[in-house]
Amino acid sequence: MAGEIAVNAGWKAELRALVALAIPVVLSEIGWMLQGIVDTVMVGGLGPSAIGAVALGNAIYYTPSLFGIGLLLGLDTLVAQAYGRGDHDACHHWLAQGAYLACIATPPLMLVCIAASFGFTHVGIAHSVAAPAGSYLRILTLGTLPLLLYAGVRRYLQGVGEVNVVMVAFVVANVLNWLGDWALIYGKFGCPRMGVDGSAVSTCAARVVMAVILLGAAWWYERRRGHPLFRRWARLSWLKIRQLTRLGAPAAGQIVLEVGAWNLATLAAGWLTPVALATHQIALNYASFTYMVPLGLSSAAAVSVGHAMGAGDAARARRAGWMALALGTGFMLLAAVVFFVAPGPLIALYTRDAAVMAVGPSLLGLAAAFQIFDGIQTVSTGALRGLGETRVPMWANLAGYWFLGLPLGLALCFLLRWGIYGLWIGLTLALIVIASMLLWRWNRDSKKQGLRDSRD
């Protein structure tokens, strides 16, 4: 009886720790999403061309920038496992290598974005949108290094359990970005009226602030434990950079495959009708918002599983992964119910156009159908990253989206003329397949780790 009580108490303590880790991370993911929303809303007063320019610039920028952020996801595994085994010096060392990798990755990513910024006028985009979009993207590119430094330091802080400051950084950055947008877009507070360019300048400044806040938090954390951050800063180690890249490159590839699939779906929706594109974007906005919760839980799972693996406790690692999956699946089940029960009012928050209102509820029904699977695949990816496995999620996304879901969706959409519904049916099937593959792999690998520990 006493043993059963102790097990229950331990399980509840682990769940509380996971939730305490996940909440700030989830709120930070929502804050990340809000930056783009704030930029789009704040340029609304300049007219449709400005809105289109910001949307287009962000869409192009985020694919290479998310690849750079993905390269640093290996820090989740390396820092968390080092922290779990009590090796704080290794945590510090990995932070330094992450900063070096951010500096190495920044120039090629900036070159890709700058080259893309000059291509808008050559792909049939109206000049009223193409010109400001190109200028916006070139300015936004200047914030790449602070963005990647922020991403690296964030992984470090999450790995050592210092997550509240990540949430604080995003709150501060969003407030500053909003004020900066207001001042620089419209020439308030004595600032020049810069229009769309002002939004990009404000976003870059907000990213510098985020990086500075997190670097300050890392310095304070290391100072408290008597290990000054910059006094004993590790030198560049190409061996460590390769190790970090071996973990991060597949994670970056997985992000690009996933984001690229949805971007291609948006492009395909644009080949249909304005109503189809508008409805697709509205449903995608809702799906993207709910996705932020399992995305935050994915990071929490990577850290919790990594801590347990570093401590040599595979049973605790397995519990942490399953608890994160249960939380993510539970939330997405609630989201699915809301999408099913109230699709009309949700669409009406964006528009009351009769054509969109006719198509929108069915599309939100499809979004509801894949919510649970989206949660499973996202959290499983993080749990596997905690074990040190980043290649399987990449291959699962390649197979699910690019070999199955997108070809099927495009065929249903254009060949069988099912329109936007056919496209979303293909994407839904892709998520079902990806979730099934990753859940099976998590169960197998986490169980295998437990069996290995029991033999040892």
**What residue numbers bound the domain in which 193 lies?**
23-236
**2 domain-assigned:** no
With CA atoms as reference, report the closest residue to 337 among 287, 288, 291, 371.
371
Closest CA to 81 of 278, 312, 373: 312
Q: Is 175 in the same domain as 308?
A: no
Token reading at 409: 């969706």
What is the C-alpha to C-alpha distance for residues 224 and 30, in angstroms, rounded to an integer? 30
Q: Is residue 192 part of a domain?
A: yes
Residue type for 436, please? S
Instruction: State the pLDDT at residue 113.
Output: 92
Residue with tokens 């609304």: 44
Residues 95 and 226 in one domain: yes
Same domain membership, residue 321 and residue 193: no
93 in any annotated domain? yes
Task: Among 236, 270, 287, give the residue marking a domain's end.
Answer: 236
- Residue 325 within any structural domain of the chain: yes
Alpha-carbon gap, residue 290 to 331, rounded angstroms: 8
**Residue written as tokens 């070096």?**
100
Same domain, 83 and 143: yes
User: How far is CA 111 from each of CA 107, 144, 176, 418, rounded to the nearest angstrom?
Assistant: 6, 11, 27, 40
Residues 282 and 197 in one domain: no
Final residue before a domain boundary, out of 202, 236, 270: 236
pLDDT of residue 222: 81
The per-residue pLDDT for range 311-364, each reduced to its tens digit, is 888 888 999 999 999 999 999 999 999 999 998 888 887 778 788 888 888 889
Q: Based on the fold, state whether residues 296 and 166 are members of the same structural domain.
A: no
Instruction: Determine the pLDDT at residue 6.
Output: 42
- Do residues 136 and 57 touch, judged by C-beta distance below 8 A? yes
- Report yes or no: 157 and 168 within 8 Å, Cβ to Cβ: no
Residue 241 forms part of a structural domain: no
* 81 and 230 part of one domain: yes
Determine contact, residues 283/265, Cβ cutoff 8 Å.
Answer: no
Same-domain check for residues 212 and 261: no
pLDDT of residue 115: 92
* 252 shares a domain with 232: no
> Is 206 within 8 Å of 34 (Cβ atoms)?
no
Cα–Cα distance measured from residue 418 to residue 407, given in angstroms and rounded to the nearest whole number: 14
Half-sphere exposure of 423 (CA within 13 A, CB side): 24
Question: How buried is 41 (Cβ within 10 angstroms: 0-12 exposed, 13-18 middle, 19+ buried)?
Answer: middle
Q: Are 393 and 441 in contact (CB under 8 A)?
A: no
Question: Does residue 29 lie within any of the structural domains?
Answer: yes
The reply to whether 54 falls in a domain is yes
Is residue 10 assigned to a domain? no
Same domain membership, residue 276 and residue 179? no
SS (H, E, C) the chain: CHHHHHHHHHHHHHHHHHHHHHHHHHHHHHHHHHHHHHHHHHHHHHCHHHHHHHHHHHHHHHHHHHHHHHHCCHHHHHHHHHHHCCCHHHHHHHHHHHHHHHHHHHHHHHHHHHHHHCCHHHCCCCHHHHHHHHHHHHHHHCCHHHHHHHHHHHHHHHHCCCCHHHHHHHHHHHHHHHHHHHHHHHCCCCCCCCCHHHHHHHHHHHHHHHHHHHHHHHHHHHHHCCCCCCCCCCCCCHHHHHHHHHHHHHHHHHHHHHHHHHHHHHHHHHCCCHHHHHHHHHHHHHHHHHHHHHHHHHHHHHHHHHHHHHCCCHHHHHHHHHHHHHHHHHHHHHHHHHHHHCHHHHHHCCCCCHHHHHHHHHHHHHHHHHHHHHHHHHHHHHHHHHHCCCHHHHHHHHHHHHHHHHHHHHHHHHHCCCCHHHHHHHHHHHHHHHHHHHHHHHHHHHHHHHHHHHHC
Q: Which of 236, 266, 295 is the last residue of a domain?
A: 236
Instruction: State how many domains the chain has.
Output: 2
Asked if residue 116 and residue 182 are part of one domain, the reply reads yes
Do 94 and 187 lie in one domain? The reply is yes
Under-70 pLDDT residues of the chain: 1-10, 48, 51-52, 123-126, 450-456
Q: How far apart are CA 314 and CA 320, in angstroms?
A: 10
